Amino acid sequence: MSEETTGLHETASTHSLVLRLQEILSSCSESIKVGDESSVSELVDFLETISGSALANPEDKDAQNKALEILSYIHMFLLSSSLDQEVLDVLSFVLPKAAAKFAGLSSRCLEIADMIIDRFIAICSPRDMLSILCGALSATDRPINASGYVASILSGLSKVFLSIQRRHFEQVKVAIPVILNVLKIACSELADEDKECVDLICRALDIAHSIRAICEKMEGRVNEKLRALLGLYVLQIMAFLSFNEGDKLSSCLHPVSQLSKIFPYCSVSYVGLITGSDVNLMTNIIVGEVEYDFMSCLSYIKHGASLSVIWGHIYDDVALAAGENMSAVKDELRSNQTNRWQAIGMLKYILASTNMPWELKKHAINLLLCITNGNVARDLQADCSIYLPSLYAVLQAITKVIIYAPNTELRKNAFEALKRVLHDVPTFERLDILKALIANNNSSSMIAILLDLVRGELHMERFQRKSIRKNESLPAKNQGSSITSLWNDGVLELLERVLRPPEGGPPPFPEHGDAVLSALNLYRFILMTESAGQTNFTGVLSKNNLQKAYNEWLLPLRTLVTGIMTENKNDYNQLAMNTVCALNPVELVMYRCIELVEEKLKQST
C-alpha cells in the first residue's frame, strides 16, 4: 500500500470516528433533555477507548492523530452556543476527567484538554467543578502516563479557586490534601523525567498563586488562616521538587525562586524556617481548623523549611526572591545559641532523609559548617535539654553521611561537622549523646571514630586544665572534677559498651576490630593520664574498676585474640594473613593495657 493510499485510509478512519462521536454526542444531548443520562457512559467509554489506544501505542501516528481530532471535536462541541446548560452540567461530571486522559499524548492535546476544562469552569458552578476536579485527580484509574493528566487537572483547580465566592478557606482546605497526595505520587513516578516533574511543580505553583489571590481579597481571621495554609503548601511543594530534582540544581532554580517569592507574603523568614518557629506558628494557626488527619498531607513541611534556606544558601537569586540576606541569617545563627541548636536540629530532616539527593545533603553539611564556624556564641546558661533529641538525631544522621557518602570531600566535611556540632553541645550532655551514638551504631569504624573524638576532647580538656592550673597555681586534685568535665566515670561506661558488650562476652572479632583498638587506646590514655597527674576523675584507678577492667574486659579479650591468632598464624591463605595483620595492633595495645593494670593492682595492695 502506498503512503498516499495509507494516508487516505487513515483520514477516512478518523472521519468515521468523528462521525461516530457526533452521533453519541447528539444522542447524549437528546437523552439528557428528557432526564435520561444512560448514554453518557457510552460517550465516556468511546473517549477512553480512543485515549487508551493512543497512550498504549505512542509510536502509532494514526492513533495519535485520531485522539487529537476527537479531542478537538469535543472542544468545538462545547463551544456551541446552542447547547443547553442542563446538558453542559451533566457533561461536566465526566468530560473533564475524560479529556485529561488525552493530555499526556502531546503538548497540543494538553493544551486542548486545558481549554475543555476551562470551558466547564467558565459556565458551571465553581463548587461543583472543585468537587469534580478533586474527584478526577484522586481517581484510581489514572492513565499510565499520568503527568499530563495530573497537570491538566491542576491547571483547572488553580482557576476554580479564583471562581469561588464564599467559604474560601473551607473550599481550599478540602482540595489541598488531594492535590498534595497525588502530586507526591506523580513526582515520584517521574524521577527520571526532569522536564515533566518541573512542569507539574509549576502547575502546583499556579495553585499557590491562586490561593494568594484569594488571600488578598480576604481580611481578618480568614486571611490569616489562608496565608498559613499557603505557606505550608509552598513548603510541601519545595520538598517534592527537591526530592526529585535536587541533584540537578540548575533545573530547579526558576521554580524554587518562584516558590520563595511567596515567603514574604506569608510573613515567613529564613531564620523562622531554619529554626522551625515559623513552621510551628503556621501549623498552630490552622490546626484547630482542619480535621485530625489533614496534617498527614503536609508531612514534609519541615523538610521544605530546611530546604528553602539551603536553596538560598546555594543561590543568591533564591535568597533575593525570598527577601533575605543569607550572610545576615548565618550571622544570626552564629550569634544566638538557642537559634543555632534549633537550626542544627532542623537539618536532620535533610541529612536523615532517604529521599534526599546527595547534592543537597552536601549543601546541608556546608550550611552546618557555616553556622558553627568562627567565634560562635556559647551561652552557658542556655538549657540544652529540650534540644538533645534533635541534636542527637542530626548527629546520628551525620554519621550515616560519613559512612555512606559517595565522595571523599563530603565524608571529610561531614566529619568536621560532626566535631563542631558535638562541641556546640554542653559538656555534660555531650557525653550522653556520645554514649547514645555508640550504643546505636553498628559500624565498627564509626564507633572507633567516635571514641577517637572522645580521646581528643579529653586531651584538649587536660591541656586547658594544665594551662589554668599553671596560671592560678591550683593543685591538680581541684581541677577537672566539675560535672561539666568529660573526665568522669561516664567515659568508662563508653569503654565497657565496646570491650564488654551488653549482650555478654568479649566483642566479636574481627568485625569489631577497629572499635576495640580505639577503645583500648582510649583506656590506655585515661589510665596513663590519671596516673601521671595523680588524679582519679574517671575512677579508672580505683581498685574495683581496675579489677573489673582486668577480669571482665582484658582477660576475656586476651583469650579471644590469642585463640584467633593461634588458629591463623600457621595458615598462609590471604584471609588468615589479613586477620593476623588486623589483630597485631589490637594485641599490642591490649598487652600494654594489661601490664599497666597489673602494675596498678600491685601498687594498691
Output the 3-class SS for 98-149: HHHCCCCCCHHHHHHHHHHHHHHHHHCCHHHHHHHHHHHHCCCCCCCCHHHH
At residue 321, the 3 state secondary structure works out as helix
Numbers of helices and strands, H then E, in the chain: 29, 0
What is d(CA 494, CA 434) in angstroms, rounded to the nearest whole number? 8
At residue 240, the pLDDT reads 93
Using CA atoms of 409, 411, 414, 420 in order, give the dihedral in degrees to the nearest 10.
Answer: -90
What is d(CA 492, CA 553) in angstroms, rounded to the nearest whole number? 11
What is d(CA 551, CA 531) in angstroms, rounded to the nearest whole number? 20
Using CA atoms of 71, 76, 79, 83 in order, give the dihedral in degrees to the nearest 10.
Answer: -90
All 3 cell numbers of residue 578? Answer: 589479613
What is d(CA 234, CA 256) in angstroms, rounded to the nearest whole number? 10
574 burial (CB, 10 Å; 0-12 / 13-18 / 19+) is exposed
Q: Are 384 and 422 in contact (CB under 8 A)?
A: no
Peptide bond into 96 cis (omega under 30): no
What is d(CA 39, CA 237) in angstroms, rounded to the nearest whole number? 40
**Greatest CA separation for the chain:** 111
What is d(CA 58, CA 51) in angstroms, rounded to the nearest whole number? 11
At residue 480, the pLDDT reads 44
Q: Are 527 and 578 in contact (CB under 8 A)?
A: no
Position 332, amino acid: E
At residue 445, the pLDDT reads 94
Q: For residue 534, which phi and psi values (nearest 5 degrees)?
A: 55, 45
What is d(CA 365, CA 395) in angstroms, rounded to the nearest whole number? 11
All 3 cell numbers of residue 163? Answer: 471562581
What is d(CA 434, CA 505) in angstroms, rounded to the nearest whole number? 23
At residue 481, the pLDDT reads 42
State the DSSP code for 507. Answer: P
Both ends of the chain: CA-CA distance in Å?
109
**Residues of the chain above pLDDT 90, percent:** 63
CA 59 to chain centre: 38
The neighbour count for residue 191, using CB atoms within 10 Å, is: 11
Identify the segments of the chain with pLDDT beneath 70.
1-12, 144-145, 191-194, 246, 467-484, 569-579, 605
At residue 37, the pLDDT reads 73
330 burial (CB, 10 Å; 0-12 / 13-18 / 19+) is buried
Position 246, amino acid: G
**What tens digit of pLDDT does each residue of 273-314 get?**
999 999 999 999 998 777 777 889 999 999 999 999 999 999
* pTM for this predicted structure: 0.89
